[in-house]
Structures are given as C-alpha cells and as structure tokens.
C-alpha cells in the first residue's frame, strides 16, 4: 500500500502517545508511557527542566515528577542504561541489554585507560569500595571535581560510568540528580529475566520496539531509534532489510511505500488499517504541544525532515554566533505539523517563564485557533514548572497579545 507522508506522520504522532492531556496521571500511566516509547532520554540541561520530565509532560500534561523517581528507584520498574542515549528503560527489557553490557565489559579497561589517563586498577578499587560500602556517588571518591561534560570528569567518575555501562554497577538512586551506584545484583529486582537472548532474537526485539514507537519505519531507522552504538545492534541496514522481508513473509510486519520515497517502509500488522483511516482524515489531535529535541519524537532529524518538512536545529552545543534560533528552543507541534520554534527560559527565583524567542516556519500562517491553543499549552507548560507569570519578550509573528498572568 502506498501512503502519504501526512498519514505516516499522523501514525507516528499517535504511536508516540501525543494526544489530549488526561485529567489525572497515575504512576501506572507514566510507566505505560515509558514502556510504549521503549525508553526515556535523561539529560542534564535544565534551562526549563530536565529532558525526561519534559518528554513526559508533552504527552501527559501536569503530573507528579516523584512518580518517575519512584518507578526507577523505589519500585524498580525502570533502570538507567544506554538505549538511545542515557535513558530510563523498563526492567522487563533488561535481558536485551546484556549484550551491550558484555561488549562494554570487554573493552572497559582499555577505554578507561585511554579516556582517563589513569591506571585501570582504579576500576577494581572503585568497584571494591562500592561492594564494601554500598551505594556511592562520584563525590565519595577523591579527585578534583571539574566543570563540564564527559571529558572533564575525574577518573573515579569515569570508572563508575564504565562499570555501569558494563552492567557491573547500576544506578541505585539519585539525590539532587547525582547518581549513586551499587552492584547490579543489589539493584535488579526479583523476577527480572536475566537470560541472554540470541543475536537474532535481540535484533527482532529492537525492531519491534522501534515499530511500536514510530509506526512506519524503514530499515535504516532501526539503527537510530535505539542507537546502534548504545545497544550494539551491529546489523547493517542491508541485514535489517533482509530481516524485515523475512518478517513480512512470516506475517509479523507489513510493507508499505510512502509517496515520493523510494525505500520500503514497514509497520506492525495492526497499524496498516489505521494508516488507511488516517488517509481519510480520521485524526483526532488538533492541539499544540511544545517538544524538546531530546524527545523521542524528534530523535531522528532525517526522518523528521522527510515526514514533516521541518529542519531540526539543536543549538545547545553551538557557539552563540552560530545559532539561528536559540540556545534551547522548542519545536511547536500543531496537529500533524511542526509550525514554529519557541525559546523559553525559567526564572525560578521570580517564578517567571520568559519567552526569549519565537519563530514561525516558512509557509505557516498562524490562525486564531492555533494562537489560542499555543497560549493554553504555554500556560500549562509554565504552570507545571512553577511559573506564575509569562514574560513574552520575543519578537515574532504574533497576532495576539500573550497573557502575562498564568491562570491557576
């Protein structure tokens, strides 16, 4: 079946669970959201709030952030590991990450020595302390604390991270976002399956997980939702193409084409009927959502440009003079289109959400319906982060005067 890009992106939005905000959000609803997405990216940048909280907000609206903390560190239904990047992952999927842990373990000492310029014996010393003393954080080890990212970590911190990637340690809990590491056997809850799957079983698992989260996908995209370097998929796009064709024969997936695209796309059988419905306009989402670039929806830039005609531009790592939009601008979804970009910043001391930038995409003419929904979504966004006011200082294409006071 040949489908339109419009139907493909609408299916993706639905599979990403972007819909009307629920009236109430239980802990179970949060878990189900992470489970449907396959994983939830964790990031340290908190211009407004950390990435994992924002990705959930874009699907659930207001919710209790402590529920996510409890799911990971008390209920032990989620664990931290590399999936796309650093992510929360359902513990039910733990066995499918054993291979990536094994690969990391085999290269751990060599990579640690190269990265830290320290004696690999430090890995053993750090591990022994955790075994003897229980959960420890980087601050519990000697060494100068440095500003910056991975390259500026002290050797003990690098050792903790390599031991975690190897599956020897896991994150036991966090305090003020700082990780406390413990032996994996002390973190894995009872009943978790730890039998290692075969290579083909593992690849099939990630393929189905990706289709469940994206709807239609081509084989190359199976290496990008769960990053190949994270989960060690280690199958080429040609091999994945062969797997998809096998699954078509087995009736596990169905093949489709997208108008204007040469490559075949694949989806789960249950989604083919939905694609036909979406072609006829049966799409119920017409609201506005703010998304971050660390959101599962926006991970694959090439895919977003192909389906939405939107050029992603994450600028947090660019020098100021090279930025076109803003340090931490958010794409704005309206129905099935990405129509604008907005740069918020949270002034926590004064309880003000500052809108520093706003840019409308070429070809989009804002309507009254759009602007009303943008205002409502921005107010919900600000209120969720504790803002009492919105200070709209951005210049842009506005036909309305934004409300300053955030309704309670």
pLDDT tens for each residue of 6-57: 999 999 999 999 999 999 999 999 999 999 999 999 988 878 889 999 999 9
3-state secondary structure of 180: strand
Q: CA 290, 171, 222, 207 torsion: positive or negative?
A: negative
Q: CA 263, 264, 268, 274 torsion: positive or negative?
A: positive
Tens digits of per-residue pLDDT, 105-127? 999 999 999 999 999 999 999 99
- The more confident residue out of 146 and 236 is 236
Q: How far apart are CA 367 and CA 398, in angstroms?
A: 10
pLDDT of residue 150: 47
**Predicted structure pTM score:** 0.94
Tens digits of per-residue pLDDT, 63-86? 999 999 999 999 999 999 999 999
Q: Residue 399 CB: number of other CB atoms within 10 A?
A: 10
Q: How far apart are CA 381 and CA 384, in angstroms?
A: 5
pLDDT of residue 180: 98
Distances in Å between the Cα of 164 and the Cα atoms of 152, 168, 258 are 18, 6, 41
Looking only at Cα atoms, what is the longest distance across the chain?
64
CB 106 within 8 A of CB 99: no
Q: Quick one: DSSP state of residue 161?
A: H
Q: Residue 375 CB: number of other CB atoms within 10 A?
A: 17
> Among candidates 68, 96, 97, 65, which has minimal Cα distance to 81?
97
H-helix or E-strand spanning residue 56: helix 51-60
Quick one: how far is CA 390 from the chain centroid? 27
Q: How far apart are CA 194 and CA 24, in angstroms?
A: 35
């Amino acid at each position: 079946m040949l489908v339109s890009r419009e139907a493909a992106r609408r299916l993706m939005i639905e599979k990403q669970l972007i819909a009307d905000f629920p009236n109430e959000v239980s802990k179970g609803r949060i878990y189900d959201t992470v489970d449907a997405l396959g994983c939830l990216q964790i990031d340290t940048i908190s211009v407004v709030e950390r990435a994992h909280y924002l990705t959930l907000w874009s699907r659930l609206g207001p919710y209790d952030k402590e529920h996510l903390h409890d799911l990971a560190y008390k209920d032990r239904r989620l664990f931290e590991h590399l999936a796309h990047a650093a992510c929360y992952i359902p513990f039910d999927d733990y066995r499918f990450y054993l291979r990536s842990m094994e690969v990391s373990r085999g290269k751990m000492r060599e990579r640690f020595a190269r990265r830290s310029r320290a004696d690999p014996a430090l890995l053993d010393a750090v591990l022994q302390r955790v075994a003897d003393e229980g959960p420890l954080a980087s601050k519990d080890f000697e060494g100068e604390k440095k500003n910056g990212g991975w390259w500026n970590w002290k050797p003990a911190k690098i050792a903790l991270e390599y031991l975690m990637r190897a599956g020897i340690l896991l994150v036991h809990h966090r305090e003020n976002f700082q990780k406390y590491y413990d032996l994996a056997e002390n973190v894995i809850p009872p009943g978790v399956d730890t039998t290692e799957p075969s290579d083909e079983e593992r690849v099939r698992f990630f393929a189905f997980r990706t289709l469940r989260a994206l709807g239609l996908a081509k084989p190359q995209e199976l290496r990008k939702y769960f990053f190949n370097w994270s989960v060690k998929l280690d199958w080429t796009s040609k091999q994945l193409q062969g797997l998809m064709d096998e699954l078509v024969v087995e009736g596990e997936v169905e093949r489709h084409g997208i108008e204007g695209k040469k490559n075949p796309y694949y989806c789960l059988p249950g989604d083919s009927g939905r694609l036909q419905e979406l072609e006829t306009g049966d799409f119920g989402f017409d609201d506005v959502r703010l998304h971050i670039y660390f959101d599962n929806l926006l991970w694959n830039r090439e895919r977003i440009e192909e389906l939405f005609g939107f050029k992603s531009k994450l600028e947090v790592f660019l020098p100021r003079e090279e930025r076109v939009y803003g340090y931490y601008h958010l794409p704005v979804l309206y129905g099935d289109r990405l129509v604008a970009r907005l740069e918020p910043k949270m002034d926590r001391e004064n309880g003000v959400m500052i809108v520093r930038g706003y840019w409308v995409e070429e070809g989009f003419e804002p309507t009254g319906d759009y602007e009303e929904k943008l205002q409502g979504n921005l107010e919900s966004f600000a209120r969720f982060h504790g803002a009492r006011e919105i200070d709209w200082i951005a210049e842009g294409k506005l036909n309305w005067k934004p409300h300053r006071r955030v309704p309670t």
